[in-house]
Structure 1
Amino acid sequence: MAMGKGSLEEVTELLGKNPLAMRAKDFNGNTPLHVASKHHSRTGVISLLIESYPEALRMKNSNGDTPLHLACILNETAPSYFTCSETQKKDAEEVQLRVVSFLLEKCVDASKDKNDQGETPLFSCLRYHAPLEVVSLLYEKYPEAARINNNIGDTPLHVACKNTSSEIISLVIDKFPEAMKIRNRDGSLPLHLACSNDAYIDVISLLLEKCPETVKAKDGHGSTPLHVACKAGSSLELVSLLIRKCPEVSRMKTLHGDTSLSAACSGQASLEIISLLLETYPEAAMEKNDRGDLPLHISCRLGLKYGCLFKLVTSLIDVYPEGANVKNKSGYTPLHIACLNDLPVGVLKQLLDKCPNSARSKDFVGDTPLSMACWKKISLDRITLLLNAYPGALRQVNDEGDTPLHVACSFEATLDLVSLLLKRWPGAAREVNAKEET
């Protein structure tokens, strides 16, 4: 598609040689006008392409995008936009405004066209960082765009809340304030999306100022903005703001019974956020979700995401030491789950120090943490720790009559692991399970 990217002289020459070239499409269904608009070519080139083939102004590519949709995308035309100088950014924005203005001058109705996602060019502006001047121009040409929902129920405000400045958010709200209370197909308000995308703090402040009751609103999963912020690993500043606005929201639960602390432990929240949640509502450490999981269970299941797992587990155990021996609905204690995930030996030791009896606990099929460790073939230092905590676990059998040695052999454990188990209890080699197997 050299015609869409070339200079005016090159495009004129190409059209002279092949007048039908302006009707050609690439593998994405883009005409030369699509390509020229996407790359914000000089208006002289765009004007020539329109004069040669005016129908292209309303033509759609394979995604349903018109040339105006593509012109409204800023960061795809300038991949280095976020690392370039302020002067270069300003230049890129001015060029985009010039191209969008020219296309609208030639065909203002293109501002009403929807792509395959049900989105007008305004959505493209808001999703792809177009400057305020371009967004304002789209609203001016088609004010009703503010009230349009795309195929998943998002309004322009939903899209803007994901990655846009408070200046643009303010404009979008002014055009259609009711959008702050509109839910998309997931039941999410714009505030939910802003929190899940760690939006600028002034954006969150603006949304809460304009519509304070949304801080307690739940989406289709029963999650409040605080839940989604904690799970997404949003900033401490953002989480703190939500809690200051409504401390009671930290007590609210999702449809699956998760508090914000559970959400934080299941996501990417920082230790500072965990500490803040525990300080705000310490009883959350004792709250089980519908699976019977405490935040401690969840942390041990997903703890590999944390660089400071030991400190995380410490924080939860300090608030609720008895949690180390609590079983979920599968009969798992946090120690079972820690063994399943081969967590660091320091974490296992910490759980055993707080609750030595957890080494004796059996899950719903009768497995002790040692049996589970043998099944997962975790490292020998962890196996040794479990053996020292409860040597009798070697003689415990599960519902199939299997000892830990049976389990280890069934799952092709290493010779070192089998040797360690036999060294601790040589008689294990003669034990017969329910299938009459040694």
Structure 2
Amino acid sequence: MTWTLLHSACEHLDAKSIYDRCKLGTNEPLEHDDHGSTPLHILAWGNPDPQLLQALVASCPVAVSDKDVHGDTALHVACSFPETTVKVVKVLLDACPTSVSMTNKEGLMPLHMACRFAPNNEAVIGYLIDAYPCALRSRIKMGSPAPFRKRTSLRNKPGDHFVSREVGATDFVEARFRTITAQVRDGAYPLHMAIKAGAPTSVLEMMLKEADDVMYMMDKFGQTPLHVAMATQAEDGVIEMLVENGGMKAVLAKDKSENLPIHLAAIHGCSVRAAKGLLQKCLPSIHEKNAAGLTIMDLALESGKCGEDVLRLFEITKDETQEEDEKKE
């Protein structure tokens, strides 16, 4: 494994050196550093000039499908960068259309990477979905994480890439490992990942428009996207959109601990607007107990995460539904 002059030129975005070395016709574009990265992996990170990327791809098209020690292709790397453009993604996909469905060692496709690390990049996420809609229904395998070599310095040295292009890149790489490892354990889908990462409503709507059934798909813990939204205290607009799309089926879905989404709202806290939206779909759910035998009110009081207005809503709903039940009897 060798850190070449082309690796260095790609890291420093030295266009002249990249063009010159591409013309040499050597195997340099296929050389791997000690993290298994080719020069193309290096260049793909950081939203490079599409023409520069095209020149490197044209010099060695097979490098587009090459994988590093994590099993990432250059497309995985590009989609991990929040400001990556469609033009960059298009260059890589045009050279290797199948790279959009390639998985790394954690079972992640480029769409998973974009949803986790670039949740606001609607253009790129949409482009990836158009290229391979099946990725929306792809669940991360729940296996062991890929090998990881911690980078300890922001100063670049052979084989220690993604560190000098931007300040904090080392932090990004380490955070990427931690968050992806956690979500490998979760067995999440792209929609789950996008919600956890704080994707806007427009991105989530786009994903559901292409595959509305993912609204009911569950991760390792039996949690649907609505469960995830409540557990991560998503914005009210996101919660309302999920409730509207999922209907009563989503509101009454139980995870492996028999928690409804409203149980998780009580545990983690939510706005009165979000709580109303959930309860309006099914008022009797206020009395539902989870596997531990706790109701929404029990959990809200125990967690201390809900405001007075939410507690009051829970109490009023509980009393009103109880009165209705008594009248029926």
Query: Scaled by the length of structure 1, what TM-score is found?
Result: 0.57
Asked whether 1:119 is paired with 2:57, we answer no
CA contact (8 A) 1:232 1:267 kept: no
* Residue type at the aligned position of 2:15: L
* Residue 345 (structure 1) shift: 1.9
Question: Which of 172, 189, 195 is 2:115 aligned to?
Answer: 195
Asked whether 1:250 is paired with 2:218, we answer no
Asked whether 1:278 is paired with 2:196, we answer no
Give, in whole Å, the separation in 2 of the partners of 1:302 and 1:288: 16
Give, in whole Å, the separation in 2 of the partners of 1:259 and 1:59: 45
The residue correspondences of 1:75-90 to structure 2 (distance < 5 A) are none
Question: Which of 65, 72, 79 is 1:161 aligned to?
Answer: 79
* Residue type at the aligned position of 1:206: Y
1:385-436 CA distance string (max 9 Å, x none): xxxxxxxxxxxxxxxxxxxxxxxxxxxxxxxxxxxxxxxxxxxxxxxxxxxx
Asked whether 1:174 is paired with 2:94, we answer yes
The residue correspondences of 1:252-267 to structure 2 (distance < 5 A) are 252-267=217-232
1:147-175 CA distance string (max 9 Å, x none): 11122222222222223211111111111
* Residue type at the aligned position of 2:251: A
* Residue type at the aligned position of 1:325: H
Show the counterpart of 1:300. 266
Counting matched residue pairs gives 272
Give, in whole Å, the separation in 1 of the partners of 2:303 and 2:217: 29
Structure 2 CA distance for partners of 1:153 and 1:59, relative to 1, 3 Å: closer
CA contact (8 A) 1:162 1:199 kept: no
The residue correspondences of 1:389-400 to structure 2 (distance < 5 A) are none
Give, in whole Å, the separation in 1 of the partners of 2:233 and 2:55: 39
The residue matched to 2:80 in structure 1 has which SS? helix
Give, in whole Å, the separation in 1 of the partners of 2:213 and 2:102: 23
Give, in whole Å, the separation in 2 of the partners of 1:261 and 1:300: 14
CA contact (8 A) 1:147 1:176 kept: yes
CA contact (8 A) 2:120 2:200 kept: no
Asked whether 1:97 is paired with 2:15, we answer yes
Give, in whole Å, the separation in 1 of the partners of 2:279 and 2:11: 49
Asked whether 1:71 is paired with 2:9, we answer yes
Structure 2 CA distance for partners of 1:67 and 1:352, relative to 1, 3 Å: farther
* Residue 137 (structure 1) shift: 2.2
* Residue 67 (structure 1) shift: 4.7
Asked whether 1:241 is paired with 2:206, we answer yes
CA contact (8 A) 2:2 2:32 kept: no
Show the counterpart of 2:125. 204
Structure 2 CA distance for partners of 1:102 and 1:337, relative to 1, 3 Å: farther
Structure 2 CA distance for partners of 1:107 and 1:246, relative to 1, 3 Å: closer
Question: Which of 295, 318, 343 is 2:280 aligned to?
Answer: 318
* Residue 277 (structure 1) shift: 1.1
Give the RMSD, CA atoms, in angstroms. 2.6
1:88-129 CA distance string (max 9 Å, x none): xxxxx7xx3124334556794432222232211211211222
* Residue type at the aligned position of 2:216: R
CA contact (8 A) 1:72 1:121 kept: yes
Give, in whole Å, the separation in 1 of the partners of 2:114 and 2:232: 17
1:214-273 CA distance string (max 9 Å, x none): 222222244332222222211211111111112222122223211111122223532112
Give, in whole Å, the separation in 2 of the partners of 1:319 and 1:249: 20
Give, in whole Å, the separation in 2 of the partners of 1:130 and 1:270: 33
Show the counterpart of 1:354. 317
Give, in whole Å, the separation in 1 of the partners of 2:233 and 2:310: 19
Give, in whole Å, the separation in 1 of the partners of 2:106 and 2:280: 37
Structure 2 CA distance for partners of 1:70 and 1:270, relative to 1, 3 Å: farther
Structure ranking higher on relative contact order (CA contacts 8 Å, 6+ apart): 2
Unaligned stretches of 5+ residues in structure 1: 1-57, 61-65, 75-92, 359-438
Show the counterpart of 2:155. none
Asked whether 1:341 is paired with 2:259, we answer no
The residue matched to 1:290 in structure 2 has which SS? coil
CA contact (8 A) 1:231 1:268 kept: no
CA contact (8 A) 1:73 1:129 kept: no
* Residue type at the aligned position of 2:313: Q
CA contact (8 A) 1:291 1:328 kept: yes
Show the counterpart of 1:404. none
Show the counterpart of 2:173. none
The residue matched to 2:41 in structure 1 has which SS? helix
Unaligned stretches of 5+ residues in structure 2: 142-185, 322-329
* Residue type at the aligned position of 1:355: K
Give, in whole Å, the separation in 1 of the partners of 2:77 and 2:120: 12
* Residue 199 (structure 1) shift: 5.1
Give, in whole Å, the separation in 1 of the partners of 2:238 and 2:196: 11
* Residue type at the aligned position of 2:112: H
Question: Which of 31, 35, 51 is 1:133 aligned to?
Answer: 51
* Residue 132 (structure 1) shift: 0.9
- The share of aligned pairs that are identical, in percent, is 25
